[in-house]
Chains A and B, each alone.
Chain A
Amino acid sequence: MPKLSLMFDNKIMKEVPVGSRPVTIGRSPDNDLPVDNLAVSNYHAKIYFEAGRMVIEDLDSLNGTFVNDLRVERATLHDGDNIHIGKHKIKVDTSGDAPVPWDSGRKAAAPRIDETMVLDTKERRQMLQQAAAMGESMQFASSRMKVPTLVTLNGRTDQKEYVLTNRLTVIGKSPMATVRLKGWFKPQMAAQINQRDDGYYLGPGDKVPKINGAPISGQVRLNDGDLVEVCGVRLNFIFRE
Chain B
Amino acid sequence: MGRVRTNNEDCYKIVEPLNLFVLSDGMGGEAHGEIASAMAVETVVNHCLDIETNPAARVIGKVDPNWSARTKRLSTAVHLANKNIFKSAEADPDRHGMGATLTAAWIDDAKLSIAHVGDSRAYLLRSGSLLQLTRDHSLVAEQVRRGILTAAEAEESEMQSVLLRALGAQAEIEVDAEEHTLFPRDVLVLCSDGLTRMVTEPEIAGTLQAETDPARASEKLIALANERGGPDNISVVTVRLEKSSKAWFSWLRRGSGKNLGSNGSVGGN
Main secondary structure of the interface of A (DSSP, over half): loop
Q: Is B159 an interface residue (CB 8 A)?
A: yes
Contacts of A135 in B (CB 8 A): 143, 146-148
CB closest chain-A residue, reference B150: A198
Across the interface, B158 reaches (CB within 8 A) one of A112, A131, A137, namely A112
If A111-B158, A111-B159, A141-B147 touch, whether A38 touches B133 (CB-CB below 8 Å) is: no
Q: B139-174 CB contact bits vs A (8 Å, 1 = yes)?
A: 101111111101100100011111111100110000
Query: In the bound complex, what is the Cα–Cα distance between A122 and B31 (angstroms)?
Result: 27
CB-CB < 8 A to B136: which residues of A?
197
- Selecting from B40-48, B178-186, B213-221, B249-257, the interface stretch reads B178-186
* Residues on the B chain within 8 Å of A120, using CB: 169-170
Q: How far is the CA of A36 from the CA of B94 in the complex (A)?
A: 9
**Bound state CA distance, A144 and B144, in angstroms?**
11
CA distance A189 to B185 in the complex (A): 12
Q: A120-B170, A203-B129 are in contact. Are A37 and B163 (CB under 8 A)?
A: no
B96, A37: Cβ atoms closer than 8 Å: yes
Instruction: Tell me whether B61 is interfacial, beta carbon within 8 Å.
Output: no
Q: Which residues of B contact A143 (CB under 8 A)?
A: 147
Q: B110 touching A127 by the CB < 8 A rule?
A: no
For residue B19, give the distance in angstroms from its CB to the closest CB of chain A. 18
B180 near A168 with CB under 8 A, answer yes
Give Cα A128 to B124, complex, Å. Answer: 30
In this complex, the interface size class of chain A, counting residues with CB under 8 Å from chain B, is: 35 or more
Complex CA gap A99/B127 in Å reads 64
Smallest CB gap from A176: residue in B: B181
CB-CB under 8 A from B132, the residues of chain A are: 167, 194, 196
Chain A CB within 8 A of B98 CB: yes
Contact of B161 among A36, A87, A113, A137 (CB under 8 A): A113
> Is A1 engaged at the interface, CB distance under 8 Å to the other chain?
no
Q: Which residue of B lies closest to A194 (CB)?
A: B131
Residues of B within 8 A of A139 (CB): 147
Q: Which residues of A contact B150 (CB under 8 A)?
A: 198
Digitize B117-137: 1 where CB-to-A-CB distance is under 8 Å, 0 elsewhere. 001000010111101111110
**A101-118 near B? 1/0 per residue, CB < 8 Å:** 000000000111111111
- CB neighbors of A among B54-110 (8 A): 93-99, 110
Q: A38-B29, A120-B169 are in contact. Are A168 and B146 (CB under 8 A)?
A: no
Residue total for B at the interface (Cβ-Cβ under 8 A)? 59
Whether A36 and B93, one on each chain, are in contact in the complex, defined by CB atoms closer than 8 angstroms, is: yes
Bound-state Cα–Cα, A136 to B94, Å: 42
| Interface pair B147/A138, CB less than 8 Å apart | yes
Q: Is the CB of B181 within 8 A of A119?
A: no
Assess whether B147 is in contact with A118, with CB atoms less than 8 Å apart.
Answer: no
B30 at the interface (CB under 8 A from A): yes
Is B188 an interface residue when CB atoms closer than 8 A count as contact?
Answer: no
Please indicate the chain B residues that have their CB under 8 angstroms from the CB of A188 in the complex.
183
Asked if B147 and A137 make an inter-chain contact with CB atoms under 8 angstroms apart, the answer reads yes
Within 8 A of B (CB), among A125-182: 127-128, 131-132, 134-141, 143-144, 166-168, 170, 174, 176-177
Indicate if the CB atoms of B166 and A118 lie closer than 8 Å. Answer: yes
B157 to chain A, nearest CB (A): 9
B163: nearest chain-A partner, CB-CB: A118
Contact present for B161 and A110 (CB under 8 Å): no
- Show 23 A/B contacts (Cβ-Cβ < 8 Å), sorted by A: A38-B97, A86-B97, A113-B162, A115-B5, A115-B161, A116-B99, A117-B27, A117-B163, A118-B169, A131-B146, A132-B146, A141-B148, A144-B145, A167-B132, A167-B135, A167-B178, A192-B127, A194-B129, A194-B131, A197-B135, A198-B145, A203-B126, A204-B127
Given contacts A115-B3, A138-B147, A204-B129, 15 further A-B contacts (CB under 8 A): A38-B28, A38-B29, A110-B158, A111-B159, A118-B163, A118-B164, A124-B164, A131-B139, A135-B147, A135-B148, A141-B147, A168-B180, A177-B181, A204-B128, A205-B127
Measured CB to CB, the residues of A under 8 A from B are: 36-39, 86-87, 110-121, 124, 127-128, 131-132, 134-141, 143-144, 166-168, 170, 174, 176-177, 188-189, 192, 194, 196-198, 203-206, 218-219
A-binding residues in B (CB < 8 A): 1, 3, 5, 25, 27-30, 32-33, 93-99, 110, 119, 124, 126-129, 131-136, 139, 141-148, 150-151, 154, 158-166, 169-170, 178, 180-181, 183, 193, 231
